[in-house]
Structure 1
Amino acid sequence: MIVLEYLPNGNLQTFLRNDRARNKAVYGNLYGASASLTSRDLMKYAFDVANGMAFLSSMSILHRDLAARNVLVSDDKRCKVSDFGFARDVIESHQYEMKSQGRVPVRWMSPEALNDHIFTSQSDVWAYGVLLWEIVTLGCIPYTGMSAKQVIRKITNGYRMTRPRHCSQDMYTIMLSCWEEAPEARPSFKELTNSLNELLVADYDVLAFGEFEEALYDNVDKYDSDEKC
């Protein structure tokens, strides 16, 4: 038998989408001060995940499938990294080369993972940047409107998702740092926790939901089915 903690709020992706859907009916595009989730709430979720991944990284464990759907939310709204089906222990080599063919989370994968099948803690950092984008957009599908094949081609050619209009430049800069082409140029999870903590301490709204782009939610369900291919 395995005893697991009960996390009643389910996965973060659904939690974010449900909150947005619940408030959209009342506030329309003015998803601001009256919304149940605040900018600080979302920053705290981002910090929780980075902190959890910093621990995994310190133990030389690769997650390889980090995404909002694989983060669970506790009763007190604390986010906890879960779903270690793809995880690998890489204490000696610090990297993992995938040799078998199977379905992979294309939209969260770094260029070296997509093209060379090489996974390291820094490829988890890339995925974390995509997860940040999910948090900022309240559960939108990354690379909205693109098929998995288009995502692979665009990333290989240097494309990066643009800054959502309601997202501050400070937060977007953190995302971009996770998406550096060279793995060694990306921050560590420890550095990410420090950067996010600085934003939390600064205590200003890094997200202005009054400017939320409804177009981000176009075809939100259409591409859920090909998040792994």
Structure 2
Amino acid sequence: MELDNVRGDVDDGYQSVKMPHRRTSDHTYQGLMAIRGNEPTSDGAYEDLKEPSEFARSQLNIKEELGQGEFGSVFKADAWKISGSAGVTTVAVKELKGMTSPAASTAFFKELAVLKLLGTHPNVVSFLGCCTDTDPFYLLLEYVSGGSLQSTLRTSRTQQTYGNLHGGSKSLSSRDLTRFAWDVAKGMTFLSAKKILHRDLATRNVLVSKDKTCKVSDFGFSREGDEYERTTKTRLPIRWMAPESLFHRKYTTKTDVWAFGVLLWEIVTLGATPYPGMSKREVMDGVQQGYRMEKPPHCDQKLYTLMLSCWNADPARRPEFRKIQRTLDTLMETEHDYINLASLDENTYQSLQTAMDEKY
């Protein structure tokens, strides 16, 4: 593996990696690796959507900007009669600006291809339509008002009242945090059943609704199929990557499981950056040599055991998402506090700042 464009003074969690171009499949779907036969079955509780048609720009009213993505801006907008709804629906619009690079255009349409496969699930952001007839191109998505899970966790650090009680606290409770992990597990169970690999699962790519429901989002890195081999030069979320992804360019559902374990650690530490105090190179070397993050003192052993199972060096020994969901089902059925926020030492997990080019 050839590491390229590394700045030794920047700890951004992503690494530029140059890989030889080599195709691993004869079957593609709009640039995605596609699997023939053994078609994935969806969760029977939710209906799949038919592929949406182009949405008329005349029925879209772009409002304020919500943020900047890697290849463009994200806006809040009003959409008239979108996805079978009557009247006006508030949506999120991901824009691909004109005059962008070929890589940006490719990433945009790969994300669009994955979104068209999704169907609907309460723990996955819904795809509502697209505008690709002319520049600028738009992806129209469900609007989720609460922002990212990462920002929700980090904002809660400013709250002085950490309630381990199951209600009444103005900040996040232990049960809230456990439910966040449960929601993400349910969303990922749904995606893995459809053979969709997220490849960038992290709290920054999960959105939180007004009622604190978490929804898996940001499918710009995602691919469809049982396995994907990275062949292009791209920035990578090293701190969330399994060893087989870091060193052999392989992605499967089990690499998403590894990332879920890191996401669980993020939740427990209220949004700290994983592997605190370690550089990118130290993280890569540590993971290769078997290093795993220690149990946060305020974290219940059952949650940490779940993290460790996600970080098994052997992908085959990591749990399936449906098993992770069942484990969290059981934890949610009890009244036990699995994260003791009252004993959280924020100074131990204060690593929050990253470089501007990091997708945090």
Q: TM-score, normalised by structure 1?
A: 0.91
Q: CA 1:227–1:179 in structure 2 vs 1: closer, same or farther (change >3 Å)? A: farther
| Match of residue 36 from structure 1 | 171
Confirm or deny: 8 A CA contact 1:107 1:227 kept in the other structure. Answer: no
Confirm or deny: 8 A CA contact 1:148 1:227 kept in the other structure. Answer: no
2:271 is matched by which residue type in structure 1? G
Shift in Å, 1:225: 4.8
C-alpha RMSD over aligned residues: 1.6
Shift in Å, 1:219: 3.6
Shift in Å, 1:203: 1.9
Task: Tell me how far apart the structure 1 counterparts of residues 201 and 224 of structure 2 sit (CA, whole Å).
Answer: 15
Task: Tell me how far apart the structure 1 counterparts of residues 276 and 236 of structure 2 sit (CA, whole Å).
Answer: 18
Q: CA 1:206–1:219 in structure 2 vs 1: closer, same or farther (change >3 Å)? A: closer
Task: Tell me how far apart the structure 1 counterparts of residues 143 and 358 of structure 2 sit (CA, whole Å).
Answer: 26
Higher helix content, 1 or 2: 1
Task: Tell me how far apart the structure 1 counterparts of residues 228 and 148 of structure 2 sit (CA, whole Å).
Answer: 27
C-alpha deviations, 1:26-51, integer Å up to 9, x for none?
35xx6755551111111111000000
Shift in Å, 1:145: 1.0
| Match of residue 123 from structure 1 | 255
Query: Where in structure 2 are there 5+ consecutive unaligned residues?
Result: 1-54, 56-128, 130-139
| Larger of the two Rg values belongs to structure | 2
- 2:196 maps to 1:64: no
C-alpha deviations, 1:117-146, integer Å up to 9, x for none?
000000000000000000111101000111
Q: CA 1:201–1:32 in structure 2 vs 1: closer, same or farther (change >3 Å)? A: closer
| Match of residue 96 from structure 1 | 228
| Match of residue 96 from structure 2 | none
Residues 1-229 of structure 1 aligned to structure 2 (within 5 Å)? 1=55, 2=129, 3-21=140-158, 23=159, 26=160, 32-33=164-165, 34=169, 36-90=171-225, 94-221=226-353, 223=354, 225=356
Query: Where in structure 1 are there 5+ consecutive unaligned residues?
Result: none
1:177 is matched by which residue type in structure 2? S
Higher strand content, 1 or 2: 2
Q: TM-score, normalised by structure 2?
A: 0.58
Structure of greater relative contact order (alpha carbons < 8 Å, 6+ residues apart):
1
Q: CA 1:60–1:122 in structure 2 vs 1: closer, same or farther (change >3 Å)? A: same
Task: Tell me how far apart the structure 2 counterparts of residues 219 and 201 of structure 1 sit (CA, whole Å).
Answer: 33
| SS of alignment partner, residue 214 of structure 1 | coil
| SS of alignment partner, residue 217 of structure 1 | coil
